[in-house]
Structure 1
Amino acid sequence: MVSSINPALKGITVLIPGLLLSFTFDVFTPLVFLVFMITFTLLFSGIPIKKWLLFFSPFILLALGFAWMTMLYTSDAFAGGEHLFSVWRFEVTTGSVMVGISLALRSLCFVSLSLLFILTTDSTKFMLSLMQQLKLPPKITFGILAGYRFLPTFRYEYQVLRQAHRVRGIGRAKGIRERIYQFRRYAIPLMANAIRKAERTANAMESKGFTGSADRTHYHQMKISRKDWMFFGVINGALIITLLASYQLGYLNIFGHRFV
């Protein structure tokens, strides 16, 4: 399962295709890679299909919006080809349609890569992996972890604060001025609690001997195994094969330059 892959290497693995695909402007390359990513995610990630569709579906509408706006505002360098139709003062050509579809498919590729990483990665293991494999300073790592652990408590404190205000007869804000004043009523107590929690956490870490030194032992050892490198090779190998196939078939287009 993808959830057992080293998080740091997994992040690098999904980052490389995202960067390389951003240079392609044809339809074939992102379409083929998107089909591969969807198939790979549904077969090997362990993510329930309903859960994946729940997160992925809204981005389809967003990608369609990207495609439509790109068709209307495509630069002259990419807007060549036959004239199809006009919308107000905007002329839509075959070139602008292809660029718009390409952008939409690339956006969905980025989404599929991001969901594969987000839905299969434990945040704590990810930070430990960054510290052990990519040498992120422990001060930053444990600071981020502590802040992440505080998020649920902030939400609970906010709900308690709202209920306390309602018990005292303070209703919902209606106008802009009341909303600003309400924001101040909520923000100041929450910030005060956050500062107190941060200070207590810092004192607790110092009392346990935390100095922020990179030369330290780890209870949870994050390692990179052969399975992790196989995951890296499969994802990026699929992208390389897609680029080669696109080049051989004459579809590959990088920044408007078509390789035939």
Structure 2
Amino acid sequence: MTAEAGAVTVRDASTDAPAAASPVVDPYAERAAPRGRFLYALNPLAKLAAPMPVMFALIFTRGVVIPTVLIVATMLLLFVGAKLGARTMVGLLVGTPLAVAVLGLSFGIWVDPARVDGSSAAASVVLLEIGDWRFTLAAYLVGLATALRIAALVLLSLLAGLTTGGPELVRAMVQNLRVPYRIGYTALAALRFVPRFGHELEVIRAAHRVRGTDHGRGPIAWLRRTVGLAIPLLASAIRHAERVALAMDARAFGAHRTRTERTVSRWRARDTVFVVAFWIAAGALYWWVLSAGVDGGFAV
């Protein structure tokens, strides 16, 4: 077996003829962006910088028009610019309205009646009455506005969350924001511990099932199983942390102020266009709502 030009050539022992060559797989290679999905081609920082001022303004916004428009626009951006699975699309289309309805009801129940405008027509519409307590449409609308703001904040964060990986974000922060690479890549290594722990937990559970030590019901059995999982999981975590530390030391991680990067993260003109266009569209929405007086504007 010989390695030539980045490929591995396997020779047949009987004929000494080269078999089919298989290229060396790079586990850190960049994933090809889906065609026609422009969000993957943007710099991760652009996908953070564009919605961030809008998310900050949403905190001080009241009413239902602005968050509703932002929810619809963000969903359209995700459907057009990101490659979403069927479950994710169903979750966005079905889960978002359900979550807004449930949260709106929950927040509306806890609204202080003194903060509800009693002169509005919605205040006279009673949805539920138990004794002296009344749940009015005005209280529900206050809770609904809060729920819509939360949903808009979550969806805006998904612009970067669904189209950006951890390594991509770290590279962009280190190279474009000049975050010290010791901090960036150390945080990335810590985040990668989470899926590792999940895999180790499944291995330990499988071993317990093979040995027949996972039987029993009730709180005592659950506590016994939890303790039996925690100790080997902690030992595995310590071993993994030691291996990661030794690997980082062997590569002289942190020995110099700068380091070379295998993949360069650039801020391109399209990133600037996306950020500016996003800000202009959001500013136009706020200007229209405030000038037309169709919403509550900003909370004080």
TM-score tier by shorter-chain length is 0.7 to 0.9
Match of 1:104 among 142, 147, 150: 147
* 2:68 pairs with one of 28, 31, 37: 31
Work out the CA distance in 1 between the residues paired with 2:290 and 2:255.
49
The C-alpha deviation readout for 1:113-154, integer Å capped at 9, x for no partner, is: 122221111221011112222333322322222233343332
In structure 1, which of residues 38, 54, 61 is the aligned counterpart of residue 90 of structure 2? 54
Partner of 1:68: 105
Structure 1 equivalent of residue 230 of structure 2:
187
Give the match for residue 134 of structure 1. Answer: 177
CA drift of 1:252 comes to: 4.0
Query: Which residue does the alignment assign to 2:26?
Result: none
Other structure's SS at 2:239 match: helix
Match of 1:77 among 111, 115, 129: 115
- 2:129 corresponds to which of 87, 90, 93: 87
Higher helix share: 1
Contact 1:63 1:108 in 2 (8 A): yes
TM-score, normalization by structure 1: 0.88
| Preserved contact between residue 173 and residue 182 of structure 1 (Cα < 8 Å) | no
Q: Flag structure 2 segments of 5+ consecutive residues without an equivalent.
A: 1-37
Moved over 4 A (4+): 254-257
- Cα distance in structure 2, aligned partners of 1:182 and 1:205: 35
Question: How far did 1:24 drift?
Answer: 0.9
Report if aligned partners of 2:107, 2:147 keep a CA contact under 8 Å in 1: no
CA shift for structure 1 position 34: 2.1
CA distance in 2 between partners of 1:151 and 1:38 (Å)? 29
Closer, same or farther: CA 249–154 of 1 in aligned 2, 3 Å: same
Q: How far has the Cα of 1:176 moved from its partner? A: 1.6
Give the C-alpha shift of residue 179 in structure 1. 1.5
Counterpart AA for 2:235: A
| SS across alignment from 2:115 | coil
Question: Which 10-residue stretch deviates more, 240-249 or 61-70?
Answer: 61-70
The CA distance in 2 between the partners of 1:141 and 1:112, in whole Å, is: 25
Maintained 8 Å contact 1:59/1:111: no
Kept in 2, the 8 Å contact 1:79–1:93? The answer is no
Q: Distance in 2 between matches of 1:254 and 1:29?
A: 9
2:248 to 195, 202, 205: 205
Partner of 1:176: 219
The alpha-carbon deviation at position 212 of structure 1 amounts to 6.1
Q: Return the TM-score normalized by structure 2.
A: 0.77
For the pair shown, which has the larger CA radius of gyration, 1 or 2?
2
Q: Secondary structure at the match of 2:56?
A: helix
* Number of equivalences: 256
Greater relative contact order structure (CA < 8 Å, 6+ sep): 1
For 1:125 and 1:16, the matched residues in 2 are separated by 22
Q: CA deviation at 1:107?
A: 2.4
Q: What CA distance in whole angstroms lies between the structure 2 residues aligned with 1:30 and 1:152?
A: 34
Task: Measure, in 2, the Cα distance between the counterparts of 1:53 and 1:66.
Answer: 20
Shift of the 233–58 alpha-carbon distance from structure 1 to 2, 3 Å rule, reads same
Q: Residue deviations 1:214-243, cap 9 Å, x none?
A: 433322221211111111122222211110
Where in structure 1 are there 5+ consecutive unaligned residues? none
Shift of 1:111: 2.7
